[in-house]
Amino acid sequence: MRQRWRAGIGLWVNVVLLAAALAGQAWAAEVWVTNMKSANVQVFDPATLKVIATIPADKGAHNVTFSPDGKLAFIANVGANNITIIDAVRKEALGHVAAGTRAHQVAVSPDGKLALVSNPGSNDITLVDVAKRQAVHTMPTGKGAMMAVFAPDGRQAFVANAGDANVTVVDVQAHQVIKTLPAGKGVMAFEPTRDWQQAWLTGTDEDKVVILDVAKGEPVATIDVPGEPHGLALSPDGKLAYVVQRKLNQLAIIDTASRQITKTAPAGNRPDMIAVSPDGKTLYVTSRDDNKLLVVSAAALTVMQAVETGDEPHGVAYRS
């Protein structure tokens, strides 16, 4: 009887330890904001909107991207021509990796092994071995290579080239451009739908949002969005698109079925980028000229709170 009791206690202890270990692998939700002039990234608790950590990056800390497992963060530094890789769990910078001129954004492959840096100043992309934290290849893609997205299989990447008003599809293993797709002038955002049938792009220089049929490589529609549409994000259910109208200092909601703007609302001074909470209820928008992170109701587009950031906030991303 005593042995059974001890065995039961031992089993219970093992279960508790396992549960603690599994809990230690998880983390609370976070909102990350890059501050260009402050050359850092701030981590906010979305529940309290208090700063959890401030992590040094480099000059012109511009956009933030996470590895698929959420354990690493990648900061593109436009003023330093490099990226900063951060341990997102410990909130520690692991080092910098040289990239091209005006490193603008980082995309990470689905397996987390490869990072791709878009460099609009040198019209190229830099491929980075994540484990080695080392650049392994640079190749031209087009004028003003602004940002990129990996295809779900990780074999291809779609690079938006603002100066050429197109998107180049790159074979990342062969280091070759395999085709070129049309896009809007000054193309900035490239947001694929969940099924990857379409991609939504902002044509910043012609005040349009372009909807691209990914398989056919053809635009299926364009939507007039005045005021320099910049950042764009789709709702988790894909029914809405949220667009930053930078010159109008406002946000717009587009119904993806009707392809019509259904609502606009003010959003600070010079809003830049936008992130959506996983439940689709909250938007996080950087207001560069106000030095603030705006917390916005996704349904009403009302600013619920404006939180102080560092100088010139730009990129924003939700880590969950």
Q: How far, rounded to the nearest angstrom, does the alpha carbon of residue 21 sit from its chain's CA centroid?
A: 29
Instruction: Quote the pLDDT of residue 27.
Output: 65
122-139 per-position pLDDT tens digit:
999 999 999 999 999 999
The stretch 56-77 carries a mean pLDDT of 98
Instruction: Quote the pLDDT of residue 2.
Output: 47
pLDDT at residue 25 tops 70: no
The stretch 165-172 carries a mean pLDDT of 98
- Helix or strand run (H / E) with residue 8: helix 2-25
Query: In the chain, where are the structural domains located?
Result: 186-320
Instruction: Quote the pLDDT of residue 242.
Output: 98
Q: Binning pLDDT at 50, 70 and 90, where does residue 26 land? A: low
Instruction: Quote the pLDDT of residue 7.
Output: 45
Two tokens at 179? 């085709």
Instruction: Quote the pLDDT of residue 70.
Output: 97
241-287 per-position pLDDT tens digit:
999 999 999 999 999 999 999 999 999 999 999 999 999 999 999 99
Instruction: Quote the pLDDT of residue 24.
Output: 43
Q: How far apart are CA 292 and CA 270, in angstroms?
A: 11
Two tokens at 311? 């100088």
Instruction: Quote the pLDDT of residue 96.
Output: 98
Instruction: Return the higher-pLDDT residue of 163 and 7.
Output: 163
Q: What is the mean pLDDT of the chain?
A: 93
> What is the CATH architecture assignment of 186-320?
7 Propeller (2.130)
Q: How far apart are CA 317 and CA 38, in angstroms?
A: 18
Cβ-contact 209, 226 below 8 angstroms: no
Angle at 174 between CA 169 and CA 180, to 5 degrees: 20
Angle at 87 between CA 190 and CA 320, to 5 degrees: 55
